[in-house]
Amino acid sequence: MQENENISHEHDDDEQHEHAHDDNDTPQHTHEHDDGQHEHEHHHEESFIRKYIFSLDHKMIGKQFLVYGLIMLFVGGGLALLFRWQLAYPGRPLPIIGASQQYIDEGEIVTSNDKRWDKIFESEKEELMETHFPNGVIEDKTYNMLFTMHATIMVFFVVVPILVGAFGNFLIPLMIGTRDMAFPILNMLSFWLAVLAAIVMAAGFFVPGGHAGAGWTGYAPLSVDPQWTDVGWGQNLWAISLLIQGFSSLVGSINYITTVINMRAPGMTFFRLPLVIWSLFIVAILLLLAFPVLSSALALLIFDRLAGTTFFTTTTEGGGDPLLWQHLFWFFGHPEVYILILPGMGIASELIAVNSRKPIFGYRSMVYAMIAIAFLGWIVWGHHMFQSGMRPGMGSFFMTTTMLIAVPSAIKTFNWLGTMFRGSIRFTTPMLHGIAFVSMFVIGGLSGIYMANTPVDIYIHDTYYIVAHIHYVVFGGSLFAMFGGIVFWYPKMYGRYMNDTLSKIHFWITFIAFNCTFFPMHILGVGGHMRRIANPQFYDFLQGFEGMNIFITMSAFTLGFAQLILVFNFFWSMKLGKVAEKNPWNVTTLEWEAPTPVPHGNFAQIPTVYRGPYEYSVPGEESDWIPQAQPEHAPASAGD
């Protein structure tokens, strides 16, 4: 491509800007659409703070969200490993920090850990470790805190910030062909509100009484009154942090919606948008409509906790209703689940089309299916409440709507298969992740049918079956798409490839360990193993599952440590990865038209779009891909 010679230069940003500026060798681009945006190219040099911290550039904000999400991924994952330890070996001290059994039983100091614990117990001060992990053993109350915070962090601080925050920010302006988001300052605000929310959330670990322990769903009245959980400010900070995170999402979603509607490049009609942009656009609408419901519920919860109101509690004299919380939470919560998976679907669609060298099979049905999923998402919340004491008649309604979601999900799955049909499939690392996404989504989708079915749900509700299901959808789905997306767009983000060997090792370990961790959970669920219990060995009917729990824990640790490979690769490749050319995967969409690394303002000239996003292997063309910005009947410049 035209700018290939740039690539071998040092990646000094200033130099790159000049290249972008000099980069007038794109004759096919029409110039009349440039409406006075030239000052972007002649921008002054920015200070470090302006560029890396309080940046207004959508690409930098996207990268900030990515690093933010990866850090939180380790926090959330670490919490999971702690409670997995407890499930495999209930009551046994944690490795590394735990005291010896002799010390616990007889007070005899054997190891250096014992000495340390002895000192902690002797001291007057109430230490965090002493209350949460005496002797290195996870208390039941601590266990509640761990799984509550694991889910809260993964849902609100990892998946949404990465899929929506990072990919949304980085991709939307580039893929629709514009210079930045509609509201760059709001965009920056969105990121820094998310940081504030994370700080408030983190603070909850250090307050007396520990962090929230009422589950990520925060069911009332458990979450309302400290007397039920012994949790004080932890639960308050949990609610306040989520309120702030809600504002962050709200600000971001307004920005996305405005940008997609108003700032598409000339010729970029809605039905020429890449599917990932469609998914992010739909998700932004869901976020805009869903989050205020959660925010209202959280505000009422805070009133209940701090101002003595009784929205979610009930007494014989009257008061509110605990079920009100569940209705509000799940009215938000179910669209939220689709917020987690839709961008994954969008990313997987890109990965599969590009690497199969074929147009998306049934592009329009893919779009309609996503719209259908988003719409149905509003009328299925009751399927979380089949056993809640909600009127059984409502159960039948919610079962029907929930079952209906299988239809657009099936359409999407079959269309992904159709996209691979008669393709020329390249097994790049992003493609492996795309295939993993589809396979895991199939398992997650099929396991959903069991729970949608009300009579069967009576039995498997609140068991490990649901834990398996959610992880197949959100880890198997969203996270595999996210890993694939990172490897795929990394060359555009950082101008270098991630190390492919490391990426492949990371993929295979993750894929195998993931299935070893979460597939057996289906079996636990069928055996009746409840979720959220700290000690399965306490129950006679669960005695047979000890070995399986240990196996799951081992796999979980493998899965967790495999992510270190990703992070190492991510940061190592930034400086030392192989330098990437402008369009290393031969992709048609607009983000690859921009020079690498993408300068402030993205494009030298705003591109004009002449065709749909997936023109691969067009008959009669020499090259197997035609960029969206390549005019009709122009000499094919693709592939040279």
Over the window 100 to 139, marking each residue x when it contacts other proteins by CB under 8 A and - when it does not, the resulting string is: ---------------------------------------x
User: Which residues, listed in sequence order, are joined to residue 318 by a DSSP beta bridge?
Assistant: 315
Return the number of the residue (112 or 227) whose C-beta is nearest other proteins: 227
Considering only 439, 558, 586, 637, the residue that binds other proteins (CB under 8 A) is 439
When asked if residue 394 is in the footprint of other proteins (CB under 8 A), the reply is no
Considering only 184, 292, 418, 631, the residue that binds other proteins (CB under 8 A) is 418
Considering only 36, 95, 308, 392, the residue that binds other proteins (CB under 8 A) is 392
Return the number of the residue (450 or 557) whose C-beta is nearest other proteins: 450
* Cβ 234 vs Cβ 141: under 8 Å: no
Q: From CA 389, how far away is CA 401, in angstroms rounded?
A: 19
Instruction: Pick out residues in 199-258 that bind other proteins (CB under 8 A).
Output: 213-215, 219, 221-222, 228-230
Instruction: Pick out residues in 1-40 that bind other proteins (CB under 8 A).
Output: none
Instruction: Pick out residues in 300-329 that bind other proteins (CB under 8 A).
Output: 313-316, 322-323
When asked if residue 400 is in the footprint of other proteins (CB under 8 A), the reply is yes
Instruction: Pick out residues in 353-382 that bind other proteins (CB under 8 A).
Output: 356-365
Exposed / middle / buried, residue 296 (Cβ in 10 Å: 0-12, 13-18, 19+): middle
Considering only 53, 110, 185, 410, the residue that binds other proteins (CB under 8 A) is 410
The tally of CA atoms less than 13 A away on the side-chain side of residue 432 is 17
Q: Which of 542, 570, 355, 376 is nearest to 464 (CA)?
A: 542
* Cβ 298 vs Cβ 236: under 8 Å: no
Return the number of the residue (454 or 510) whose C-beta is nearest other proteins: 454
User: Which residues, listed in sequence order, are joined to residue 234 by a DSSP beta bridge?
Assistant: 211
Residue 171's contacts (CB-CB under 8 Å, 6 or more residues apart) are 62, 276, 277, 280, 489, 591
Instruction: Pick out residues in 534-563 that bind other proteins (CB under 8 A).
Output: 534-535, 538-541
Return the number of the residue (36 or 393) whose C-beta is nearest other proteins: 393
Instruction: Verify cis geometry, omega within 30 degrees of 0, for the bond prior to 599.
Output: no
The token pair that represents 17 in the structure block: 């800007």
Q: What element of type H or E holds 539?
A: none
Return the number of the residue (184 or 527) whose C-beta is nearest other proteins: 527
Instruction: Pick out residues in 444-473 that bind other proteins (CB under 8 A).
Output: 446-447, 449-450, 453-456, 458-459, 461-463
Number of residues forming the site for other proteins (CB under 8 A): 94
CB of 414 to other proteins, least distance (A): 5
When asked if residue 532 is in the footprint of other proteins (CB under 8 A), the reply is yes
Residue 248's contacts (CB-CB under 8 Å, 6 or more residues apart) are 189, 190, 191, 193, 194, 197
Return the number of the residue (494 or 545) whose C-beta is nearest other proteins: 545
* Cβ 595 vs Cβ 605: under 8 Å: no
- For every residue of 84-151, DSSP letters joined together read HHHHHSTTPPPTTTPPPHHHHHH----SHHHHHHHHHHHSSS--HHHHHSGGGPPPHHHHHHHHHHHH
When asked if residue 269 is in the footprint of other proteins (CB under 8 A), the reply is no
User: Which residues, listed in sequence order, are joined to residue 616 by a DSSP beta bridge?
Assistant: 625
Over the window 585 to 624, marking each residue x when it contacts other proteins by CB under 8 A and - when it does not, the resulting string is: -------------------------------xxxx----x
Instruction: Pick out residues in 128-187 that bind other proteins (CB under 8 A).
Output: 139-141, 143-144
CB of 410 to other proteins, least distance (A): 4
